[in-house]
Amino acid sequence: MSNPILHIDNLHCEYGARARDRICAINGLSLRLFPGETVALVGEEGSGRTTLARAVLQLLRPAGGRLVCDGQDLLQLGGASRREARKGIQWVPGCARETFDPAWSLRRSLHEPLLASATGSTEPVGDRIAEAADLAALPPDTLDRLPGQLDDATLGHAALARALVPRPRLIVCDEPGVGLDDDAANALSRVLASVIRTRFVACLLLTADFSMAARIADRIGVLYLGHLIEIGPAGGVWEWPLHPYTASLVSALDRVRKLPGPPRPSVTLSGGLPPGGKIPPGCLLFPRCPKAEPERCAKEIPVLRKLGFAQRAACHYAVPPVDPDDPPDDGPSQGPPT
């Protein structure tokens, strides 16, 4: 297996200056992303998705742990080496329009990351921009237009092109396609997935849209109160969610539209996230979980343990999925009927 492009190891991120006000937004998260792989992290507002994106993009300093990108420990680098390493990580925002200067043509906006990264390459800038536009399925005739002359779908592709111009190793994608109609969002997702696979880039996809994560990610991780509570191959997590929290997210989607895949049990949580992000003792989900066993769940913290093929969940009572194509063993054959 190749080396990971991104290795997040036991990451902790906190907010709040005083110890008694401190909120832990990411708590002991570990994750590896390999070349050509998309890992989606899903969860409600307040799950820690945005904090994680900010930490990977080095917009905030984690309180502990390691962030290694392409073999370099980003938290140990300073000054020029940190800026150099940062060039390999690019961001694709959800609301693309807000991130383009309305007075600049797309060509000028796409040129900007090259100026910022000062690659020293002798390759013509026009070729780099044309290559990125082509990869992102951005029509060449849009490059000399202003953002105000283009629709949101085109600007979504332009934001992807802008991220690709510096030829990054890692793309952090925040709610791609948010606000677009289904066709436009699906088209953008397909282009993104194709770029990741063909260019051997890694993609960390942060989204509240579980169905989109299932469509384009290779693996899905589920965040709750800054903890990774389930992770596995996208098809497994989507079709056989093992953690009650994951099951509740899929159930909520099942209730509003008929989704592909086998029928899944309906799971509804009680209440909302604890106020102020306060972490309860025992299992994080205990106050909301319909499957909780108070004796154990209120006291004992469940660990993220392997339950199925490469699928892990942090629940005392989660059991491995049953493959419907793998019939139960009925014991020794009785021989052909007579």
| 83 binds ligand SF4 per the rule CB under 6 A | no
What CA–CA distance (Å, rounded) separates 156 from 255? 29
Sign of the torsion formed by the C-alpha atoms of 230, 232, 236 and 237: positive
| Least Cβ distance, residue 296 to ligand SF4 (angstroms) | 7
User: How many angstroms from the chain centroid is the CA of residue 45?
Assistant: 14
| 286 binds ligand SF4 per the rule CB under 6 A | yes
Q: Please name the residues in contact with 113: beta carbons below 8 A apart, sequence gap of 6 or more.
A: 90, 162, 163, 165, 166
| 244 binds ligand SF4 per the rule CB under 6 A | yes
Total interface residues for ligand SF4 by CB under 6 A:
12
Nearer to ligand SF4, 145 or 316 (CB): 316
Got the DSSP string for 36-104?
T-EEEEE--TTSSHHHHHHHHTTSS--SEEEEEETTEEGGG--HHHHHHHHTTEEEE-SSGGGGS-TTS
Question: For the chain, where are the E strands, in sequence order?
Answer: 6-15, 23-33, 38-42, 64-69, 72-73, 89-92, 170-174, 202-207, 219-224, 227-233, 305-308, 311-313
Nearer to ligand SF4, 114 or 269 (CB): 269
Nearer to ligand SF4, 27 or 58 (CB): 27
Contact pick of 36, 70, 291, 321 for ligand SF4 (by CB under 6 A):
291
| 231 binds ligand SF4 per the rule CB under 6 A | no
| 316 binds ligand SF4 per the rule CB under 6 A | yes
**Total residues found in the chain within this entry:** 338
| Least Cβ distance, residue 242 to ligand SF4 (angstroms) | 10
Structure tokens at 56: 């990977």
Phi, psi at 53, each rounded to 5°: -60, -45
Q: Considering only 45-53, 110-118, 200-208, 288-296, which stretch makes contact with ligand SF4 by CB under 6 A?
A: 288-296
| 297 binds ligand SF4 per the rule CB under 6 A | yes
| 292 binds ligand SF4 per the rule CB under 6 A | yes
Residue with tokens 């849009």: 142
Contact pick of 53, 283, 304, 307 for ligand SF4 (by CB under 6 A):
283
| 222 binds ligand SF4 per the rule CB under 6 A | no
Contact pick of 50, 64, 317, 321 for ligand SF4 (by CB under 6 A):
317
**Site of interaction with ligand SF4 (CB under 6 A):** 244, 283, 285-286, 289, 291-292, 297, 302, 315-317
